[in-house]
Amino acid sequence: MKVYYFLFLCVCCVISNGDKESEDDNKRRRLIEQLTKTRTVILDNYHLVTRQIATDVYMYRSYRTVSVIFYPIMRDVTDARFTFQSEELHLNNIGSCSPKDVIINIKHGSYPAVNPDGYDFPKYFVDPASREHIHTIELLSDGKNRTYSIRNPKPGNWYALVYIKWEDPRSQTVEQQGLVADCHTILYTDLQVKRKENIGLIDCYRGVTVDYKKLPAAFKCMSIDSTEPVSLNLTIKNTSNNNTEILFRVQSLSLPTDDNYIISCSFDPRLSNAQIITFNPFPNAWHYVQLDYVVGNATRYADCESYYLRSDLEEVDNQTTLDLMRDDKGRFFTFDYGLPTTDLQDATSLVNLTSGEVKSLRYKVNQFLDIGGNLAIEASLLMSLKYYMGYRRESKKGALLAFTEDNQFFKVVICLDIGHASVPLETGHCKFNDHVKPALFVLNSTDSETIYDRVIIPYPDSGTWYITLRLFCDEVVCPCPTSDNGTKYYVDPNALDRDEEDDIVSSNNTRQGNSACNATALLSLSSTSCLGGRCSNHGSCGLNTFGGLVMSFCSCSAGYGSWDCSDESRMDSRVYMLVSVLLLTLSNLLFFFSIYVAVIRLYYTEAMMYTFTMVFSTFYHACDAPAQVAYCITRDDVASSTGGGRIMDSPKTAVWGTPQ
């Protein structure tokens, strides 16, 4: 009979909990309805694209607790106006809710890769400053509107991360649920855009005639699928002596601005009303041409009269573009790219290079499907067997000193771009029209540390990517210390003994390098969830799903942090973790008093309940402890994960739902 009482009590508890959850949901729904009675105000000449009425916002702990908002933006947009309003929902009648700091990160093409908790990105991560700009908006959840505008945004998909500003969990106070205010943060957001009217459609390869009196004017044209330069013929008519100079700008995908353009120059139509302007385009993309009067001093702009494509390909005999093959592994964000091959085991590409040749490798990162992982790019030079056996250089006191003439010095400069291919320069930079930036890799044959390099790109942007390689030879290596009748030369005389250095420097033997050479570069492009499908040894790799969008993330334990749970700067000491676990688990021994009283009073059902509770609670807390001191009698993926997740694909991958 007592067993039936126990079952009845359990059923009543479940029903009461369900009623409480239903009541909370109804209260939350009523509050949201009250907050959303105000209609969206649409500005004149603006078009409402999308809105989300009540997005849940949580304190940042990892990417498991971020909310994701998707904004689609069409072409020809001159202003994208985002509106945000955050509010605190008070779900009980205890205390009051104070406004919280809400952070919103917006980025084009992919999810913003940020670290709000202050951890550094791991080694080999690509510099965030070299990627698409991340727009950051901060606001309070006090119910006030906040607007943010982006001028001439790129068309396509924009993504926003929303979270409450990170606070160190160690400094937060522990509060008893039900005795304090139950507050929940929500966010309203919408997007309105303003489009440019009267954009003329022209042919990039034929040119355009413009009436001076109808300036400013905007045109757009489509480039072909080629990296060949475009020569645009521009003719200005109806000019007079009173005319001012004209500003000419070109940008791909979107209208140009003062900061974003392919080229920008000015010319005086009174001197010559016909111009031929050459530039490198984005293959197979829309390009926008903007003409306007010059305001102020025209000398701050390049002169279109003398402007020409200062090509760094004059010494290039051949320029080729190869499409890489996608090798899909059938799991979330797990795929490789490589040159087409029948080898089912490896997609590593062997790229043969010769001096005077530029080779571009092209691959596509798909929107939605590919942007939630981490893309690793590795490159290395394939050296001769003698190099790896140590015959390449002489060794003295453990230091590699000399190069032999039969293995000349050379280097490979590798550039990485989205939407276009840059020109690798011998200085270790990449040039696209007048824009110069550092190269992704500069590999040279000096030693084993410089023939290999790698980067990791978190949440790669969707679009067509170009990897461009160019080989440079050691045309001149003089003057330099030499020995053995000029067959060997030393790069670092400081590594030699003083007597040996004097003998070498006093030698008159020098050697010239070669202007022609060839080499082979190994290239590997692979995408995985998290970093290599794992999070070092101090976390688990999970997938955050939000509104159909998926991203991988690392859930760290034991005070570890950073993108791959490798940062131990905030980790608790092992003694502290062990004492905490022992105090938590051994506290269950207090059940012995209840078990003893139940047994002597012949309450065997209650005694059995207390015994099971003590045993299972002890092992649960022992297994739920940090990995360094945890003890589990079963695998941790047998039980459901906290946060409403479920296990899929592998024991190490959890798909997370709404954070709890």
> What CATH number does the domain containing 404 carry?
2.60.120.380
Residues 292 and 337 grouped into a single domain? no
Give the pLDDT confidence score for residue 319 in this predicted structure. 84
Which among 62, 172, 171 is positioned nearest to 538, based on CA atoms?
62
Q: How confident is the model at residue 241 (pLDDT cuts 50, 70, 90)?
A: confident
Residues 333 and 442 grouped into a single domain? yes
| Least confident span in 404-408, 453-457, 542-546 | 404-408
> What CATH number does the domain containing 154 carry?
2.60.120.680
Residues 328 and 299 grouped into a single domain? no
**For residue 601, is pLDDT > 60?**
yes
Give the pLDDT confidence score for residue 484 in this predicted structure. 57
Between these two residues, 654 and 96, which has the higher pLDDT value? 96
Helix (H, G, I), strand (E, B) or coil at 13: helix
Between these two residues, 465 and 267, which has the higher pLDDT value? 465
**For residue 507, is pLDDT > 80?**
no
**For residue 500, is pLDDT > 80?**
no
The token duo for 458 is 């978190």
Residues 224 and 186 grouped into a single domain? no
Residues 372 and 518 grouped into a single domain? yes
Could you tell me which residues come within 8 angstroms of residue 490 by beta carbon, excluding any fewer than 6 positions away?
A: 401, 402, 480, 481, 482, 483, 496, 504
Task: Kindly state whether residue 536 falls inside one of the protein's structural domains.
Answer: no
Residues 408 and 519 grouped into a single domain? yes
Give the pLDDT confidence score for residue 174 in this predicted structure. 59
| Mean predicted confidence (pLDDT) in 183-193 | 93
Mean of pLDDT over the chain: 79
Residues 378 and 336 grouped into a single domain? yes
Run of H or E residues at 276 = strand 274-279
**For residue 646, is pLDDT > 50?**
no
Give the pLDDT confidence score for residue 71 in this predicted structure. 96
Residues 519 and 447 grouped into a single domain? yes
**For residue 347, is pLDDT > 90?**
no
Task: Kindly state whether residue 230 falls inside one of the protein's structural domains.
Answer: yes
Give the pLDDT confidence score for residue 640 in this predicted structure. 37
Q: Which residue has the tokens 């933006």?
A: 73
Give the pLDDT confidence score for residue 96 in this predicted structure. 84
Strands 302-303 and 263-267: parallel
Between these two residues, 469 and 620, which has the higher pLDDT value? 469
Give the pLDDT confidence score for residue 41 in this predicted structure. 82
**For residue 501, is pLDDT > 60?**
no
Task: Kindly state whether residue 354 falls inside one of the protein's structural domains.
Answer: yes
Q: Which residue has the tokens 């080229």?
A: 263
Residues 452 and 576 grouped into a single domain? no
Q: How confident is the model at residue 68 (pLDDT cuts 50, 70, 90)?
A: very high
Q: How confident is the model at residue 314 (pLDDT cuts 50, 70, 90)?
A: low
| Mean predicted confidence (pLDDT) in 171-197 | 81
Task: Kindly state whether residue 28 falls inside one of the protein's structural domains.
Answer: no
User: Of 303, 337, 369, at which residue does a domain stop?
Assistant: 303
DSSP annotation of 496: S
| Mean predicted confidence (pLDDT) in 292-308 | 78
Task: Kindly state whether residue 486 falls inside one of the protein's structural domains.
Answer: no
Task: Kindly state whether residue 549 falls inside one of the protein's structural domains.
Answer: no
Residues 205 and 165 grouped into a single domain? no
Task: Kindly state whether residue 19 falls inside one of the protein's structural domains.
Answer: no
User: Under a CB-based contact definition with an 8 Å cutoff, are residues 138 and 185 in contact?
Assistant: no
Residues 370 and 290 grouped into a single domain? no
**For residue 571, is pLDDT > 80?**
no
Domain count, the chain: 4
Residues 279 and 354 grouped into a single domain? no
Task: Kindly state whether residue 12 falls inside one of the protein's structural domains.
Answer: no
Indicate the pTM of the whole model: 0.80
Give the pLDDT confidence score for residue 649 in this predicted structure. 35
Q: Which domain holds residue 635?
A: 554-656
Give the pLDDT confidence score for residue 70 in this predicted structure. 94
* Cα–Cα separations (whole angstroms), residue 488 to 250, 296, 485, 497, 511: 51, 60, 8, 16, 9
Between these two residues, 510 and 24, which has the higher pLDDT value? 24
**For residue 112, is pLDDT > 50?**
yes
Give the pLDDT confidence score for residue 399 in this predicted structure. 41
